[in-house]
Structure 1
Amino acid sequence: MSGEFPLVCEENNNKKERCKEALEFIENVTEKAGEVQGQVLSAILTTNGDTEYLKRHGLNRTSDREAFKKCLPLISYEDIEPDIQRIVNGDTSPILSAHPVIELIISSGTSSGQQKLLPINQEDLERRIFFESLRMPAMSQYVEGLEKGKAMQFFFMRPEVKTPGGLMAHAVLVSIYKSRQFREARYYNEYTSPIETVLCTDSYQSMYSQLLCGLIQSPLVLTVGTAFALGLIKVMHFLQKHWTQLCLDIETGSLNKDIIDTSVRQAMINILHPNPGLAQLIRSECSGGSWQGIIGRLWPNTKYVSVIMTGTMAQYIPSLEYYAGELPLVSSVYCSSECSAGINLNPLCKPSEVSYTLLPNMAYFEFLPLQRNGDKQEQELVDLVDVKLGQEYELVVTTFSGLYRYKLGDVLLVTGFHNKAPHFHFVCRRNVLLSIDSDKTDERELQSAMENALKHLELNGGKLIDYTSYADTSSIPGHYVLFWEVCFSTKVIPEHLNSVLEESCIIVEESLNPVYRICRGFDKSVGPLEIRVVEGGTFDQLMDYAIERGASINQYKTPRCIKSTSVLELLNSRASVHVLHLTFGTRVEIWTCEAEKLILVDCQIGGCHIQLQTIVIVVKMVELCTQKY
């Protein structure tokens, strides 16, 4: 089996037979993972042998794997940005790919505020479309009867941007939504949303009409979902705000006058008819006070909720569980703007246990070994079939669209194998860090610290809506800043709020790594952690801000570390409460003792096991201890 995929799946109208063929395909490529990876790399290099990029690096039209690894460097987006800019400006020569670039994919780019443009060709697009068609076959092994109903899957479009060279640029999912396969095959599923509501670029009209269609067809709905967890929460908030108007539309059979898109209105005529009974049922559920389990109550035949909830989306799991009730939460695929990569073959697992099996036909995958703290190890990259159980890696891809040894920035943990293809748990993004001095806090650690603080917040009647962070170096010493949007079940007096937030500061700091606590409590190179509480709706504004600048609502993820000056200004303009952990007391004394113990432990271990970062800290602390005593 090569890197090709079976078009028979699309042509076969029998859903069960198509699912069977898709599952056989997955078994085949994972059983022959090493062979398929070799064929994929050979196909990419052979096809693109005359491209400027490969010639520039001296590959000389060879498809040899060893030559590939010797000649081509590891790269990030910045390394090929000049090449991509030529494509954007209309250069049609074979720069990265021999096949013509058909469009440009806009990455979400929400961490730095800078979006990336990634070229894609027809072959790569078809490969991604086929990948999407594997979701339902994987689910069909665990949930029966999915072919008998519909999926209420919310899709959102943004207006496309035309580049100076005439190519259209948009989010990767837009390419799929506009494809013939999506319109005709619909990936083994029928959706409640007509294509006109999906392609509508006005977010209000699109969400309203898709939600209305889902409510009208509620007995047929078997699955509910969006691309990312945050998207479904936005849908639930939208429903809470607009359910009265939605009920009026269903009761009278007339469409909300604010829906002015003619194609959407025409599509809704065929679906919307007076149904007072359904309207009354929805009213009784939505007006009851509690929205816990609302998905199962409004769509009683739902079997599961489908959203990506790994990585930064994990913090929304409690909110999802609130709305979903007892329904399983399913995170089915691992994708990026650069390539589609992994599928969850155990979809009913707990959200915290989600792992994805990388499909070896999607791209050529390499893995950069990482140490436990996320630093790179000085060693060769590892091939797909040679990764080790329990080891963390940064994923490196070579794609059919002309990305060569491109670092995705995702940290993956090997959790097992399906045949010869590994399962990976998504750990975090690399380089999304808070750092002031020798401290280094990554996304995973910050999320864990936040979860500890939220327990205290919830005990005091508070709920965190969303958060982000910032390393503030405008003062000396610099310090970590957390922006929180919170709400409380009852009105709280300012003194109590400050007390709750100060204790939350302490909990976050105590949850961070020993190096942070040493810098914070021993040598005072990091100042007190600060929580800035922002007004309600701030993170909705933050999302709107990103979308106005080209981000896709489907791909949007709240950035966990702010780097953009304009985004920081937006957050600060809406900050109403500032709380710092200023009271050192016994806690900092404990941190100081930890620092002294760490010196002794590291000295006993021996230099060969001490990480470079720790050596720097130890030397600094030894100097301070000498001065102290």
Structure 2
Amino acid sequence: MSEEAILKRLEDSTRYAVEEQIRTLQTILDHNGGARYLASHFQGYNGPLNADSFRRFVPISSYDDYVGPIQALADGDDRPILSVDPLICFFYSSGTNSSKPKMIPYFDSKPGKEASYLAHQASAALVRRLFPPRPSKNKVLWFLYAGKVTETEGGIKAMAASAFPFHNNSQSKSQLLSMCISPVEVLLGSDTHQQTYCHLLCGLRYSNSIDCIRAPYAAGLIRAFHLLESKWRQLCEDIDTGTVSSEITDVTMRDAIVEFLGGPQPDIADRIRSFCEGGEWGGVLIKLWPELRYISCVTTGSMEQYYAKLKYYAGDSVMLLGGDYFTSECGVAINMERSNLPQNTKFVMLPTAAYFEFLPFDVSASVCSDAAVDFSGVEVGKMYEVVTTTYRGLYRYRLGDIVKVIGFYNSSPEVEYVMRAPKAPGEVLTEKSLISAMERLRCMLREETKVEIVEFASFVDLESSPKHVVIFIEPSIEFEESMVFLQRFCLLLEDCLGSIYKVQRKNRDVGPLEISVVKPGSFYELFRAAVENGAPANQYKPPKILRNRTIIDLLKRFVIMTVYQDSLDIL
């Protein structure tokens, strides 16, 4: 299908979005009506399977409702439990707030493949319209980590969705490999830290070929550029001598890189040193990669906090493009105006990607209604939790994302991503209010110190009386005594933590805010622990609202200072 035909198909689907949604749902019901999960809800019903009967008999669900069926599939049960199609593998979710990621089944669904193809090809076409391909400057420095593949008890492979093309002998694999500057041995490496180093090494060796830098999420690029700042001398040494650092212990990856470097390259190494040795990293990307035109990654939601730092590295001459709203479960919405700032980014819902419903969300009470609406029922200006029915065995499934409808593209809703949905009604703190408050703290820190907040997360300490909110913050450098001024800002920070928090503080249901400062590098250890527990490095999103005790205890080990409204403890 030509690029023009793909974009016309996308345009037509949004023009008749409501009708396309009904057709999408009917296709799913006709195809998977015999699946055990779906059929169990229609026992005793002899009427037609359609949108009305589906919404009447099939309840809203969450991942917990699928744990049993997914475990059965993982153990090798080949009955049509969730879908009549054969199971290919499982996709890991991003696994941000649990010790182990969720497993999403990926079935060999023809209509599912067609929908996915349209979404991804339309996305690529939109980028090509902004940046037409160049024959000789066409490589991507793509921070991908596709080596983490496990097997279930039943012998079913599990991996990140973004890793699947590299473990599937298809045309898409060849196309992706031809785009990436890094050899396949790096993509399939066994250690994410070593892979990141080798990605940088490959990109620097052939810097004049790099057209763009990509990663699924902004957080992944920030980790890579931090590594560049700390390891540039060793990278230069490797390029200078045509060898690889002894820190790279993955033999297959190491051998591939030695061959890739093509011997000593002292001129290239000297050029990189000249840009890095001054310690000025603002706008450094265009200096290191002179043909670089754009950076592409998701910068909305919790990723918005990294945008300013990415812009700092990129400078004014390199464009930052936002990503799409795609999940491990399905494609949800596409970014039609990719050059917008994160706060102005809007996504157009994809009418053929899945069937979508929306649960009205009351931000003041931090709770969702049980009455779902479809495309025709959403209202501009209101917030909703997204519910999806997919071609691959999920039915009225809560994605856990809150979006705000800001308009319509033709007849398809345009939404902005707001935050992850609260886990329970009336939660003290939401992800959005925490991010807003921390941006306020960042501004205050910039005004008085040279310290940056690298990362943060929060949890509610239920063991204290009354309960109170704890915010972990990681500074860019070790705190000095002058940082006691944080104590002055605790009260000011509390005013930014949202209406529910303020009401509960006023009623004394919540105690004074606590800020726990952790030593530099603490959140990277959190990332490493998550990857070791199965979370895909490609899709890892640092958690903001912590609910898992293991994660909380890990961060507590790194606390070096605790600040309350009226006290200061140095550990």
Is 1:219 matched up with 2:189? no
Structure 1: gaps (5+ residues): 1-7, 9-17, 584-629
- CA contact 2:182–2:203 (8 Å) conserved in 1: yes
Shift of 1:479: 0.7
Q: Name the CA shift for 1:198/1:26 in 2 (closer, same or farther; >3 Å).
A: same
2:495 is paired with a residue whose SS is helix
Q: Distance in 2 between matches of 1:380 and 1:569?
A: 38
- CA contact 1:158–1:550 (8 Å) conserved in 2: no
**What amino acid maps onto 1:54 in structure 2?**
L
Shift of 1:323: 1.1
Shift of 1:32: 2.6
Is 1:84 matched up with 2:73? no
The correspondence for 2:525, drawn from 525, 528, 541, is 541
Partner of 2:488: 503
Partner of 1:516: 501
Q: Distance in 2 between matches of 1:52 and 1:272?
A: 56
Shift of 1:291: 0.8
Q: Distance in 2 between matches of 1:60 and 1:274?
A: 74
Task: Note the 1:120-159 alignment, pairs <5 A.
Answer: 120-123=106-109, 124=112, 127-128=115-116, 131-145=119-133, 149-159=138-148
- CA contact 1:142–1:348 (8 Å) conserved in 2: no
Is 1:241 matched up with 2:230? yes
Q: Distance in 2 between matches of 1:520 and 1:417?
A: 39
Shift of 1:360: 1.3
Q: Distance in 2 between matches of 1:151 and 1:361?
A: 29
Q: Distance in 1 between matches of 2:117 and 2:244?
A: 33
Q: Distance in 2 between matches of 1:217 and 1:386?
A: 52
Task: Note the 1:423-438 alignment, pairs <5 A.
Answer: 423-431=414-422
Q: Distance in 2 between matches of 1:125 and 1:245?
A: 43
Is 1:177 matched up with 2:166? yes
- CA contact 1:33–1:385 (8 Å) conserved in 2: no
Q: Which moved more, 1:408-417 or 1:53-62?
A: 53-62
Q: Name the CA shift for 1:378/1:344 in 2 (closer, same or farther; >3 Å).
A: closer
Q: Distance in 2 between matches of 1:448 and 1:529?
A: 16
Q: Name the CA shift for 1:352/1:514 in 2 (closer, same or farther; >3 Å).
A: closer
The correspondence for 2:439, drawn from 436, 451, 455, is 451
TM-score (norm 2): 0.92
- CA contact 1:439–1:519 (8 Å) conserved in 2: no
- CA contact 2:364–2:499 (8 Å) conserved in 1: no
- CA contact 2:334–2:350 (8 Å) conserved in 1: yes
Partner of 1:351: 342
Q: Distance in 1 between matches of 2:175 and 2:161?
A: 18
Q: Distance in 1 between matches of 2:479 and 2:544?
A: 27
Q: Distance in 2 between matches of 1:379 and 1:471?
A: 26
2:339 is paired with a residue whose SS is coil
**What amino acid maps onto 1:274 in structure 2?**
P
The correspondence for 2:548, drawn from 554, 559, 564, is 564
Q: Name the CA shift for 1:443/1:105 in 2 (closer, same or farther; >3 Å).
A: same
Shift of 1:248: 2.1
> Percent identity of the aligned residues?
34
- CA contact 2:100–2:530 (8 Å) conserved in 1: no
2:221 is paired with a residue whose SS is helix
Task: Note the 1:461-540 alignment, pairs <5 A.
Answer: 461=449, 462-488=451-477, 493-494=480-481, 496-498=482-484, 500-521=485-506, 523-540=507-524
Q: Name the CA shift for 1:578/1:450 in 2 (closer, same or farther; >3 Å).
A: same
Shift of 1:328: 2.3
Shift of 1:65: 1.0
Shift of 1:539: 0.4
Q: Distance in 2 between matches of 1:223 and 1:319?
A: 17
Partner of 1:30: 14
Partner of 2:302: 312
Structure 2: gaps (5+ residues): none
Q: Name the CA shift for 1:535/1:60 in 2 (closer, same or farther; >3 Å).
A: farther
Q: Distance in 2 between matches of 1:378 and 1:359?
A: 23
Is 1:324 matched up with 2:314? yes
Q: Name the CA shift for 1:276/1:184 in 2 (closer, same or farther; >3 Å).
A: same
Partner of 1:295: 285
- Please identify the structure whose Cα radius of gyration is greater: 1
Is 1:68 matched up with 2:54? yes
Q: Name the CA shift for 1:24/1:339 in 2 (closer, same or farther; >3 Å).
A: same
- CA contact 2:239–2:261 (8 Å) conserved in 1: no
Q: Name the CA shift for 1:432/1:272 in 2 (closer, same or farther; >3 Å).
A: farther
**What amino acid maps onto 2:159 in structure 1?**
H
Q: Distance in 2 between matches of 1:133 and 1:260?
A: 37
Q: Distance in 2 between matches of 1:562 and 1:204?
A: 24
Is 1:195 matched up with 2:184? yes
Partner of 1:108: 94
Cα RMSD of the aligned pairs, angstroms, is 2.3
TM-score (norm 1): 0.84
